[in-house]
A and B are shown apart, each in its own frame.
Chain A
């Protein structure tokens, strides 16, 4: 695949930013990325990802408004909305705009503002990423779906419910080293097991916490020594929560992982780290298995063995993942790439993956129906 260079990155803190609205969060992250590119980049296209804005009564066509605030002139803009895969989709679109030769520099910004909505309203909006009529309309949201999935996983694979703890433990362990993370603290087993139930057996600690945040990157031709996007793939699977719950697989995640890695001429074993979609313990476990980091049913055991902790076989969620860095869903896919890019360019201090040369990144939308994967390599 024709590589594209990441010439600048930026991200805001993941938090409940009461004092800042959606557009300003995006402006902030974009500013960081532009500064990081050293003022060399003059993007002529802006792709902005946001999952819930319009549904929450917030700004639609966000890219147009961001372009104005950044003084970007007559840039081409795209506003991408693909549930929690929005960020990855936006990056892929940005990539295509550069690869095609249509633009020399493209800025991709992901932003999400969740704290203006009350939690039950937010969950109702999140639910419309599932089947809006047949699932959201019948009392299902992503939490309920993951609860059902977790139940099935436990029964089908004969695992102890407590074993899911190790996924959250891994994420928190890395977030404790990330000063910009939402939950920048270690999680002990007692806290995990004592967490309130949302949809049995899924508890608060099995769900990524919703927060506000924005991340941005600038893509350009591969002329410098910045990290590269070496592989990219977006694949879909049939919608409907029944599929993953019944099969305990994420076929789109598997296929897009294979494709992206193939385009980069690499395998999952070549990856120094991976940023996977840990929106819930259920999805996290299935993602690990889908991309080939564990056999089916073995993800939790691998996590318990510290396979995914920095220093282990393949570190995951090196800045905390959605679970502990925080979930600003429309921005998540961009955060993941920013974090991966920082790792492979050795720009990370406390939570560095030493000698990282390649990172696999994946985000999912609509309970696995949309899977966008990228491979980031050192420049």
Chain B
């Protein structure tokens, strides 16, 4: 049962927190302790806005174990508006409706459940943007 690891990922999982390098202004997701581009180690927490576009998608029929309860799911790469490419699943959309370039926003869903007595990992998926008024 993995508890500490799940906890450690909460800021990025729940609030899309990554890092911003004050030196070279790189925006990195997920959080880093060292900037990949310039080596700076005093990075700032940066909460990404949650908006993005579908870059690539594939409907999964055979999943690695742990994910079979969600099959069929749409695996996707989403390009956040701020730049980074995120590996994720799409939510609330029929596979045949998905289009590359589709505008999506982050939603929080159950990603993984560790058995009957382990923790539930809540993390990001991306769903078509719902319009307000």
Listed in ascending order, the chain A residues whose CB lies under 8 Å from chain B are 118, 120-121, 123-124, 126-127, 131, 133-141, 143-144, 147-149, 151-152, 155, 196-202, 238, 240-242, 245-246
Contact = CB atoms under 8 A, between A and B. Distances in A.
B64 A138 contact: no
Nearest to A149: B56
B127 to A, nearest CB: 15
Contacts of B9: 133, 137
B91 to A, nearest CB: 12
Interface of B: 5, 9, 30, 36, 55-68, 70, 73, 75-77, 85-89, 95, 100, 111-112, 121, 123
A139 B60 contact: yes
Contacts of A121: 65
Given A151-B56, A199-B75, A242-B77, A138 B61 contact: no
Nearest to B61: A197
A130 to B, nearest CB: 8
A124 B64 contact: yes
A199 B64 contact: no
Given A144-B58, A155-B100, A199-B60, A139 B89 contact: yes
Output the residue of B63, B70, B73 with the most chain A CB within 10 A.
B63
B58 A202 contact: yes
A242 B60 contact: no
Contact of B85 (A118, A143, A147, A242): A242
B64 A131 contact: no
A126 B88 CA distance: 18
A241 B64 contact: no
Contacts of B63: 120, 123, 139, 141, 144
Contacts of B57: 148, 151
Contacts of B75: 139-140, 144, 147-148, 199
Contacts of B85: 240, 242, 246
A170 to B, nearest CB: 25
B106 to A, nearest CB: 13
8 contacts: A118-B65, A120-B62, A134-B87, A135-B87, A139-B111, A144-B75, A199-B59, A242-B77
Contacts of A140: 64, 75, 87
Contacts of A196: 61-62
A200 B88 contact: no
Nearest to B89: A139
A362 B5 CA distance: 35
A137 B59 contact: no
A344 to B, nearest CB: 39
B64 A127 contact: yes
Contacts of A123: 62-65
A98 to B, nearest CB: 35
Given A133-B30, A138-B111, A241-B77, A143 B87 contact: no
A147 B55 CA distance: 13
A139 B73 contact: yes
Contact of A144 (B36, B60, B100, B123): B60
A241 B85 CA distance: 10
Contacts of B123: 137-138
A148 B56 contact: yes
The 7 tightest CB contacts between A and B, nearest first, are A120-B65, A242-B85, A147-B58, A124-B64, A123-B64, A139-B67, A141-B64
Nearest to B59: A200
Contacts of B30: 133-134
A324 B77 CA distance: 30
Contacts of B5: 133
B89 A138 contact: yes
A245 B57 CA distance: 11
Contacts of A152: 56
Q: Which of A138, A148, A246 has the most CB of B within 10 A?
A: A138
Given A133-B30, A245-B77, A124 B66 contact: yes
A280 to B, nearest CB: 12
